[in-house]
Structures are given as structure tokens and as C-alpha cells.
Structure 1
Amino acid sequence: MKKLIMITGATDGIGKITATELAQKGHHIIIHGRNEDKAKRVVNEIKQITGNEEVEYLVADLFSMDAISRMVKKFNDKFDHLDVLINNAGAVLNDKRYVTKDGFEGTLALNVMAPLLLSQLLLPKLRNSKESRIINMSSGTHRLAKPDMSDLNLEKVPSGQARYGIAKLFVIWNTQHMSALLQKNRIHNVTVNASHPGAVATNFGQNSNNGWLNDFIYKASLKLARWLRLDPRKGAVTNVYLADSDTVQGITGKFYNNKKHQIKPATKQWTAKKEQRVWDYYMLKLKPWLDADAIF
């Protein structure tokens, strides 16, 4: 069955591969990008590769909650439903702390708040689908995260890599929490899961500056991935599976590795109280951009 699928960060890397493979399967694809010219080029490229003419794009700077809201409005004006939202976009930022114009630490804005806001604003369209799915990209680096629950805007975390790991841990917690809320509110036609792409040979994180030791280790691992020919397509396998496969219908609140296997995320830092605290904090911060009658 053909699905309407939106993929963020889909003009490069794993997102682009995910979009191409899902277009190849005949789905209607909407890629998100930050640069309109590049998004147009990628749309044309995917059409040529797949022969699928139902490939479109939307543009937004995901560091800006206003831009996300405008993008959702454009989507709402054109479509009456959404079958799959893949929150793929994410990045490791520099050690030097970046604060967005909305006052949010940049790593959190892009990796946590953008997917959370998109999921909330697009929930009415997802509910209009007979069976819809949200897929949030996390990372194995969440296992190293040690969040300070009194510092949820990461003002005291000096490392870009550490901020990224914390953000990806929070993505998993928000995924679990939203899944539980959907079930509690008897919204059984919307599922939400998280995935980890594994180590693949892309340019992800290659331009970040996190101190010589962190950068050396991180970039060396990506060079090793290239040397071992770890195909970037492997990083898209799980998201394509979660978006397209009938075998995951109805499954929600879970975490998947890069081999399509459901695994347990790290639980050392988790408590129900912490999960609730993270959800409440970011939902409160996003309140200016949420509908007054939002369910959650």
C-alpha cells in the first residue's frame, strides 16, 4: 500500500538513502531540507533513479521553531493525512555552545525539540491515517550519556559529543513517553519508535570541532567505516523497515538497532520520574508553538 512519508534531513546521507529506497518502493515521499536549491536537486535525482514522480520537498531550518511551524502549515495546506514521519535530521555540534534565537541549546533544538514539535504539530494528520508511524532517529551514543536533570538546557556540558549523547538519550525517553500517552488516550492508529543507524561511512559530524581527542576518535571511526566499506545504505535499513514493513504494525515505544532488531536501550540513567521531567520540560518550552487544544 502506498504511503505518504515525510523524512527530515533527507538531502544527504542516511536520510537521502532512506528517501530513495522508499521512493523505489512506490511511496509518495516528501523530503525536508534546509537549502531549497539542494532540495530541488535531490528531488530530481530521486525521481530519475526511481522513476517515481511523487517526490516533493519542504524547506525549513530545524534550529528555528518558527520555521518548523511554517513548514507544517505548508504541509497542512496541501495534504489531509500523513502515514509516516521519519525524524532523521540530527547533528553533533561543536564544543563551543550554540544557542538558537529561541534560547535553546543548539544540539537540543535540532535533535530533541525539532522532532518533538514536528510530531506534535503533525499528530492530527497522522491520526487521519488508518495506520501511521513516527520514527525517531537516536544513536548508540545514548549509552554514554549522564544527564544532569537540573541542567536540561545543557548549560554546564562542555563537550559537543556529550551534549549529543544526552540529546539522543532524551529522544528515546520522549519516544517511550509519547507512545504511552498515545495508548493512554486510546490513539491506537499512531505508533512511535526509535532507531539507531550504526556506524556507517557518511560525512556525519565531520565538520564539528569537539576538541582534538574527541574529533580524532570520532573521525577516525568514520574513516574506519569507510575503509571497511560499511555501506551507508545499511544505516537506512531499519528506518526503511520501520516505515514500510507490515511486521511492525501496532508495535510502539520500542528501540531498534541497525539490523532491524528490537533491542533494549540503556536504562542506567532512566527512571519514570526523569522521563516525565524531560517530557514536561521540553513540552513547556515548546508551548508557544503548540496548538491550544493539543492533546498532550
Structure 2
Amino acid sequence: MKNKIILITGSTDGIGKVAAKTLAKQGHTVIIHGRNRSKAQSVCEEIKLETGNLKVDYLIADLFSFADIKRMTDEFKKKYDRLDVLINNAGAFFGKVREITTDGHEKTIALNLFTPLLLTELLLAELAKSASARIINTSSATHKMSASKPIFNDLQLEKNYEPSRAYGLSKLYTIWVTRHFASSLKEKGLNNITANVYHPGAVATRFGQDSDKGFISNLIFKVALPFMTKPEKGADTTVYLATSGEVENVSGKYFGKMKEEAPSDKYYSAETEKMIWDYCMKIISPYLKK
């Protein structure tokens, strides 16, 4: 298998960390991302020791800050001449009180939707240098929840915030944006790059455990935890999409359990897809300028 250069966001814990270890064991160059430098360094050394692969590196960035994302991609470009696989793994489920980032955006939508798109756009030239590049975005089966009905006149939920709604909508929009991105790649003639989206299933990590989402949601998270899939299993689809020859030229699709699935299209149309795409591009566009 050809050595790939792979960047994984949010990879100092959970599914991202498991995927990083698995891909390092396969001999790939793996760049993990984290917010805390000492933790990222520690995880980096742990993966090197466990896998015997010394081609493991790390980058630090606060993904709530568009400026810091831009700084991280600039650092990547100085170190590497191409990118073969970008795994937008980082994401979060926040609490019952609506919070905003330093850029003024609702945290769930910012981290789960705007950040992956900005990161991908900033690294598109490096992906284009790969003989066969892959973009992997992370969604969730919760995009099918009734709470995930789009509110197009309140896309950042200033008036309609509720944590499960924010999370479900961010993951629904991620599917739409990935589809649109896949189409735009073809329009640009970038046939060497694919973009797909997947859900990992219900995985037993610390995801969603640290914030107060309200009594009912907190209870559901705690009760469900013993029945969730282990992170090792949750990372299977990530690794599959990053490396399998079966998806070499597949783009714009939704996956789960290492196979293509049909996402919920209850609220989907070409018009709503473009509306969300245009909105996201308007938000991130100031950071795409040289």
C-alpha cells in the first residue's frame, strides 16, 4: 500500500486517536491534531512507540478560531508538500446554554460544520497535489432526528437553540455540504480528489459527557454509554474510507459500517443544499484570502 500523508483533526482521544494508531500501523505518515500541546506530544510518542512508525507528527490549533485554523494550515504547508487524506474528525455536542466562538458563531455549528469546510478549502491546493486524495467528513445518525428540521431563517439558532437540535442540524448540513463539495470538485476538474461523509455509530467515548445538556439528555447519554460501540469499532469506517480501494473513485456519498448508506433526505433539495453551502462559504470566505 502506497504511503499516504494523513491529517486527522481531534485525534488525541476517541475515534480519532484509534484511527491514527491504525493508520500508523499500516505505515502511513500520520499527523494528529489537538488543542493541548503536551497532550498531543504525549499521544504522538505513544503512537510511535506502539506502532514502531516514526512518521507520526502533530499540529496544534483551537478549531473554534478561524484565524488559528488558518495558522495551522500554513504550518502544515511548510512541513509537507502534499496531503493525501484529510479526516475531519473533530466535533462536539455542547450544553443547554447557547455559546458562541470568538468569531461570533454558535459553537456547535462552528466546530461541526464551518471548521471542516474552512480547513478543507485552505488545504485544497495540497490535496490537489496528491495522485488520489480523499476528504472524509464526520456526520451522525442523529441527523435523522425530528429535532433536525432546518430553520432557514435562524441557521445559528439564535432564537431556537437546543443542544440536540444544534448537533443534529450541524450533522445534517455536513452531509449536504459534502455532497456539494464533491460536485464542485468535478466542476473544477479536480477528479483526483473525492469527498465523502460517514457516521461512526454510537461510540463509547467521552464525547458529549462533559457538558450539561439538560436533565433528559444527560440521562440518555449516561444510560446509553454501556451499550455503545467501542472506539476501535467506531474507527473502522474512517480507516476504510481513508485506505480502501473499494472507494477509490467514490465521491459525495454517505457511509456507515464500511458501506454506503442512504441519509435522510426528508428536508433535502438542491435548493436547500445550495442555500447551506452559500451560507457556509460566506462565513468562511474572509479567511480564504491570501
TM over 0.5: yes
- Partner in structure 1 of residue 47 of structure 2: 46
SS at 1:31's partner residue?
Answer: strand
The whole-number CA distance in structure 2 between the counterparts of 1:147 and 1:222 is 28
Aligned residue identity for 1:221: A
Runs of 4+ deviating beyond 4 Å: none
- Partner in structure 2 of residue 82 of structure 1: 83
Trace 1:213-228 onto structure 2 (pairs within 5 A). 213-225=216-228
- Partner in structure 2 of residue 190 of structure 1: 193
Equivalent pairs: percent with the same residue?
48
Deviations 1:89-129 (A, max 9, x none): 00000110011111110001110011000000000000000
Cα deviation for residue 157 of structure 1 reads 2.6
Give the root-mean-square deviation of aligned CA atoms: 0.9
Moved more, 178-187 or 52-61: 178-187
The whole-number CA distance in structure 2 between the counterparts of 1:266 and 1:114 is 23
The whole-number CA distance in structure 2 between the counterparts of 1:247 and 1:268 is 28
- Partner in structure 1 of residue 262 of structure 2: 264
Aligned residue identity for 1:241: Y
Aligned residue identity for 2:65: S
Cα deviation for residue 274 of structure 1 reads 0.7
- Partner in structure 2 of residue 252 of structure 1: 251
Aligned residue identity for 1:200: V
Q: Structure 2 length as normaliser, TM-score?
A: 0.97
**2:272 alignment partner, one of 267, 271, 274:** 274
Do residues 204 (structure 1) and 199 (structure 2) align?
no
Deviations 1:136-165 (A, max 9, x none): 011000111111011112212331111000
Deviations 1:15-59 (A, max 9, x none): 000000000000000000010000000000000110000000000
Cα deviation for residue 251 of structure 1 reads 0.3
- Partner in structure 2 of residue 137 of structure 1: 138
Do residues 122 (structure 1) and 120 (structure 2) align?
no
- Partner in structure 1 of residue 59 of structure 2: 58
The whole-number CA distance in structure 2 between the counterparts of 1:248 and 1:204 is 28
SS at 1:286's partner residue?
Answer: helix
Moved more, 216-225 or 45-54: 216-225
Structure 1: 5+ residue stretches without partners: none
- Partner in structure 2 of residue 110 of structure 1: 111
The whole-number CA distance in structure 1 between the counterparts of 2:133 and 2:141 is 25
Cα deviation for residue 242 of structure 1 reads 0.4
Structure 2: 5+ residue stretches without partners: none
Aligned residue identity for 1:246: G
Q: Structure 1 length as normaliser, TM-score?
A: 0.95
SS at 1:192's partner residue?
Answer: strand
Equivalences, count: 287
Deviations 1:155-191 (A, max 9, x none): 1233111100000001100000000111112110010
The whole-number CA distance in structure 2 between the counterparts of 1:163 and 1:142 is 10
SS at 1:86's partner residue?
Answer: strand
Aligned residue identity for 1:51: G
The whole-number CA distance in structure 1 between the counterparts of 2:160 and 2:89 is 24
